[in-house]
Amino acid sequence: MKPGLYDVVFSPELAGIFVHESVGHPFELDRIMGREGAEAGESYMSLEDLGKRIASEHVTIIDDPTIEAYGFYLVDEEGVPARPRRLIDRGVASEFLSNREYAAYVGRLSNAAARASEFDKEPIPRMSNTYLAPGDWDPEEIIRDTRRGIYVASYTEWNIDDRREYGRYGILEGYVIEDGELKEPVLGFIEAESRAFWSSVDAVGKDLKLYIGTCGKGNPSQGVPVTFGGPTFRARGIRVV
Amino acid sequence: MEDLLSRAVDYALTLGAKYAEARWQVDKGRFAVVRNGAVLRVGEWSTGGISVRVVAGGLGFAIAKGASWEDVKAAVDSAYKAASASAKYRRRPIQFGEEKMARLKYEVPVKKPLEDLPQFLLGLDRVAQERGVAVRSFSASIWVTEKVVVNSDGALVESSMPRASLFAALIARGPNASLQRNVDVGGLGEAEALEEAPKVVAEEAAKVVSLS
Amino acid sequence: MSWLAESLIRLLRGKAGEAAVVVRESEEYLIRFANDEVTVADSWRSYEAGVYLAKGRRVAVAGFSGSSEDILRQALSLAEALDKYPEDPYYVPLSPKGPRPFPNAARPFDLNKALDLVWEAIQAARAEGAERSAGALSYAVRSTHYADSLGNSMSYKDSAAVGVIRAFIGRDLAATWAAASRDYLSLGLKEAGARAASIAGAAKGLPLTRLENGNYRVLMSGLVLGHLMGYVISAWSSALNVLTGVSKYGPNDLGSEAASSLLTVYDLSLKEDRVGSAPFDYEGNPTNDTPVFEKGVLKSFLHNNRTAAKLGVSSTGNAAGPGGWTSPAPRHIGVAPGDMASDLDDALKELGKGVYIHNNWYTRFQNIREGVFSTVGRDVILVVEGGAPKYRARGVRIAERFDSLLRGVEALSKSAEQIHWWDMPYPATAPALALYGSLALAY
């Protein structure tokens, strides 16, 4: 397969890793304000980005601790009742993940993201269950609607820079799409620049699925149980190498 | 526990803290590791105790060495000292907003206990081996997180949450190179959280072998 | 001898055929800072116990931390469940061979002094052009006690300090320096601050370019080299990984030429001034400075008693931590220095045309056995032409194989230093800079 720009259809597994790495982490308010600067890093998002369009209208990304999954809780470590947080609402950055200290810096109230992995760790802003909200496409319909592109079913090695701008995701199982049908297998890497990537989404499926993971952040390092996921979706003009 | 934590919070306020929070948390569980059909490691772990976080210009955090009042009081003293000493190295004091505080007790029950974790993993190992995966590594944990949180703004929260997780690394050897697939399965509870594991391991094992 | 280790052995002696415990009593401190102000000051006082029990060939291991009462209660419950455990194919009887000599010294911590050190480092970074800094100073003092049901006991006391500072200019120019030492007063955090700021400054004013995927001459700092060698050693030289096919190497590869003849890598588990070293391991065996690669030759794997028995050799004393009862692991990665300049400007001349990568994080594997990985550059990435920086780049990865890291070394700096930070798997003593003739970089 020649490196270049392709229309790519991603499975729920890929939706999960994308929302976690390129939206969940950079929406942590302590990170945006520099507290993790020497460790987990900072963010491509800034306080001024709140209320601005950073993704296409098809993209709504929610972090919801009240879903009874691996990242579940009803009250955070600072005593604040948990609720769903719409990080991106129809393409617009609408809420950062905050604890009480960082919410106060920006004149808001905490949205109950303060979590500590163990008794001997301080509570800091974290994700819980993060997902791309389902749209109204059947997943098969998205593939049928793609004239020439790639379908990525699963990923292998992945990583992202410490401002969460430049992600790279290895294709473990992927196929060429030709005239709406899956053809021969492909290997390679997806290069995803976070804002451009989410701005290019034009179809979101109904088939929401969550995957578990242990999310790392903080010093000393804290691994907290989370889920991440989404439905099958398509992004146009994605660099595949 | 609630009384001890409340006493810690009150004591921090008498020292001059603007905010204090005391948390008792215990994470306790068991684990097993199976590699290529052999049980490599079985055991238990637990980590637990009381931590105190204090705002006094800066932010201080300390843990108590034990559960006696003397230990908890020493932790409050340390956290307060750290918070006030570090205030000198800040441009503005730390302040919290006026969030509504929760008073709640909640618990997630275990629906299906999983007694023999090593046997469970050996079963998964066989599933992957039958599909031709050359190198198979499985580790799983089952644990409960119990917490009580009290803070000086009126929160009192008690929770108990069981979780289980499985990680599998499946390496298939192809004609030229090998291919690795990592699999995570888990959720709240015990066996109910790992219910999908045999199906997922079977599918992913077959896939990694066919792709390699 | 710790009363808790003794109490545990007294409690467990009749319940298991064999019992070994390692109790660590720690005092730890951490000061974090960001935007030139202290964000939190932490302190911990804790007990941790590793418990190993065997009855026949049934083995259970556990790690407990918390209060001493909780640890005793949980160790007893582990012993009572031992009959339910499966037989262990790697079982060997306890056979501790005792400790090496060790200095057993540790300076007590003074919070106000440590806060002053942090402040000096922030000011030193500012004086060198940083607009703001973030970082951390951590210090731990630990007493470690081994005891077993055969009547053996041994103890040591040590300390570990790590200082990290990342200097920022604007939003996306940054550089980190990190130091490790036994003593927090001799970390050189102030010098680290100045050094970090001056490296960040080297990219100031340079135009941003996008690096195309491909092979480049690469100069990397010791932070990158130490990080990557930590992964190579733990993944490929742990004898358990050799025995189970997770490592590329098999037992017969010892003695083969596996790396550049310029490359010598040790696990410095014994050298007492190295952070992480110890006089004995969790099996009560003496530790060693074990050569893994010596002038490019694969010399040794890292062993505990269990893996050593399978391969008919002696343990190297690498049962490091409770996990070491199963899987041997390194404690401190030592990469021997070479004869290249240690000064960045001089080494950039040596590089000529290529890329300088100052720091990295987020290393992930496609396949651990093949050693296929990528790691993301962070801090300044300089595109160098004619021996001088011409551009800066972002979003650059090293996307390579362990073999290329081992075989591709062209030069290493003369001076090596002790370093550790948040995303380095082990503390390391690494040359200031390493030059590679060709490494694959990806966007």
Closest CA–CA distance from residue B189 to any residue of chain C (Å)? 22
Q: Is B45 on the interface with A (CB under 8 A)?
A: no
Instruction: Check residue C1 and give its pLDDT.
Output: 52
Block residue for tokens 């003397």: B70
Rounded percentage of chain C residues whose pLDDT exceeds 90: 95
Q: In chain B, what residues touch A185 (CB-CB under 8 Å)?
A: 211
| Chain A residues with beta carbon closer than 8 angstroms to that of B101 | 79-80
CATH number of the domain at C49, please.
3.30.2290.10
Instruction: Find, among C209, C161, C210, the residue nearest to C29 by Cα.
Output: C161
**Residue in chain B nearest A82 by alpha carbon:** B102
Low-confidence ranges of chain A (pLDDT < 70): none
Confidence of residue C301 (pLDDT cuts 50, 70, 90): very high
Task: Flag if C369 and B178 touch (Cβ within 8 Å).
Answer: yes
Domain boundary among C147, C166, C195: C195
Question: And the tokens for C132?
Answer: 């703001």
Q: Is the CB of residue A149 less than 8 Å from the CB of residue A207? A: no
Residue of chain A whose alpha carbon sits nearest to that of C29: A220
Alpha helices in B94-196 (DSSP H): 117-130
Chain A closest CA to B185's CA: distance in Å?
A: 6
- Whether residues C14 and C158 share a domain: the answer is yes
Residue after which a domain boundary falls, among C157, C173, C195: C195
CB contact under 8 A, C30 and A160: no
Q: Do C119 and C252 lie in a common domain?
A: no
Asked if A112 and A75 touch (Cβ cutoff 8 Å), the reply is yes
Rounded distance between C-alpha atoms, residue C404 and residue C420, angstroms: 23
In the numeric block, which tokens belong to residue B10? Answer: 């009150």
Task: Please state the domain count of chain C.
Answer: 2
Please tell me whether residues C180 and C284 are part of one structural domain: no
- Supply the pLDDT for residue C172: 84
Give residue B121's pLDDT. 97
Phi, psi at residue C107, to the nearest 5°? Answer: -80, 135
The pTM of this model reads 0.97
Q: What is the mean pLDDT of each run of 10 residues along chain B (212 residues)?
A: 97 98 97 93 92 98 95 98 98 96 98 96 97 96 98 98 97 87 97 98 96 89
Fold classification of B2-211 is PmbA/TldD fold (3.30.2290)
Cα torsion through C62, C66, C69, C74, rounded to 10: -20
- Report chain B residues whose CB lies below 8 A from the CB of C89: 38-39
CA C49/CA C63 separation, integer angstroms: 6
**Are C265 and C285 in the same domain?**
yes
Asked if the Cβ–Cβ distance from C362 to A162 is below 8 Å, we say yes
| Residue C201, in any domain of the structure | no
Residues in chain A: 241
Band (C221; pLDDT cuts 50, 70, 90): very high
Asked if C143 and C224 sit in the same domain, the reply is no
- Quote the longest CA-to-CA distance of chain B: 71
Q: Is A176 helix (H, G, I), strand (E, B) or coil?
A: strand
pLDDT at res. C70: 87
Q: Which domain holds residue C402?
A: 206-443
Distance CA C232, CA B197 (A): 30
Other chains touching A, judged by 3 or more CB pairs under 8 Å: B, C
C248 DSSP 8-state letter: S
Same domain, C80 and C144: yes
Q: What are phi and psi of A124, to 5 degrees?
A: -140, 160
Contact A80 B102 (CB under 8 A): yes
| Assigned token pair, C122 | 């922030």
Per-residue pLDDT, averaged over C195-221, amounts to: 97
Q: State whether C210 and C175 are in the same domain.
A: no
Q: Are residues C221 and C157 in the same domain?
A: no
Tens digits of residue pLDDT in C52-63: 999 999 999 999
Buried residues in B126-137 as b, exposed as e (16+ CB within 10 A): ebbeebebbbbb
What residues of C are in contact with residue A221 (Cβ under 8 Å)?
A: 422
> Is the backbone peptide bond immediately before A220 cis, with ω within 30 degrees of 0?
yes
Question: Taking CB atoms and an 8 Å cut-off, how many pairs form between chains A and B?
Answer: 122
Whether B47 and C33 lie within 8 Å, measured CB to CB: no
For the record, the structure tokens of A68 come out as 């009874």
Given this model, what pLDDT does residue A190 score?
Answer: 98
Are C365 and A41 in contact (CB < 8 Å)?
no
What pLDDT shows up at residue A221? 97
Closest residue of chain A to B104, computed from CA coordinates: A75
Every domain of chain B and the residues it spans? 2-211
The verdict on a CB contact (< 8 Å) between C64 and B46 is yes
Q: Are C18 and C116 within one domain?
A: yes
Task: Let me know whether C137 and C239 are in one domain.
Answer: no
Number of inter-chain CB pairs under 8 A, B vs C: 144
CB atoms within 10 A of CB C109: 18
The percent of residues in chain C predicted with pLDDT above 70, rounded, is 100
Inter-chain residue contact A78 with B98, CB threshold 8 Å: no
Residues β-bridged to residue B24: B50, B148
Binned at pLDDT 50, 70 and 90, residue C385 comes out as: very high
| Per-residue model confidence (pLDDT) at position C357 | 98
**A residues 88-127 lying closer than 8 A (beta carbon) to B:** 100-101, 103-104, 108-110, 116, 118-123
Q: Where are the beta strands (DSSP E) in C231-327?
A: 265-268, 289-294, 297-298
CA distance linking residue A35 with residue A30, whole number of Å: 5
